[in-house]
Homo-oligomer: A and B are copies of this chain.
Amino acid sequence: MPQLIIKGLEQDKVKQISKPLVDELQQIIGCPRDYFTLEVVSSIFIMDGEERQITPFVQVNWFDRGQAVQDQVAAAICRHLQQAGCPQVETFFVVLEENRYYENQNHY
């Protein structure tokens, strides 16, 4: 954690932004870089009977770090995706609870 779950963005673009994005998130959040996972989801999106491209969106699963840090993380994600050629980006945060998150048999 944090887990970034990325939909609607090609694998190559995720590869391209992965290093600078995690470099920056690591600074903002203050956690080791190997805590991060960047997941490229291979789902298909459908509208009106046809497969279609969607506005890329990023779900971040993490422990709550407050609105200010969250704002900075969203801004960093947005900037890096825009630099990779996505004019529009949606990012949302899902808060996980520490007593529900286990490393092996022990929760946080």
> Could you list which residues of chain A lie within 8 angstroms of chain B, going by C-beta atoms?
5, 7, 11, 14-16, 18-19, 22, 34, 36-51, 54, 67, 70-71, 74-75, 78-79, 82, 88-96, 99-105, 107
Contacts and interface: CB of A to CB of B under 8 A. Distances in A.
Given A16-B49, A39-B43, 19 more contacts: A14-B46, A19-B49, A22-B47, A39-B45, A40-B46, A41-B43, A42-B43, A74-B107, A82-B104, A88-B103, A88-B104, A89-B104, A90-B102, A91-B102, A92-B96, A92-B101, A93-B101, A94-B96, A95-B100
A10 to B, nearest CB: 11
A90 B1 CA distance: 10
Contacts of A44: 11, 39-40, 42
A89 B102 CA distance: 8
Given A42-B42, A43-B39, A44-B40, A105 B49 contact: no
Ranked 9 nearest A-B pairs via Cβ: A93-B100, A74-B102, A92-B101, A75-B105, A91-B102, A38-B46, A39-B43, A40-B44, A19-B48
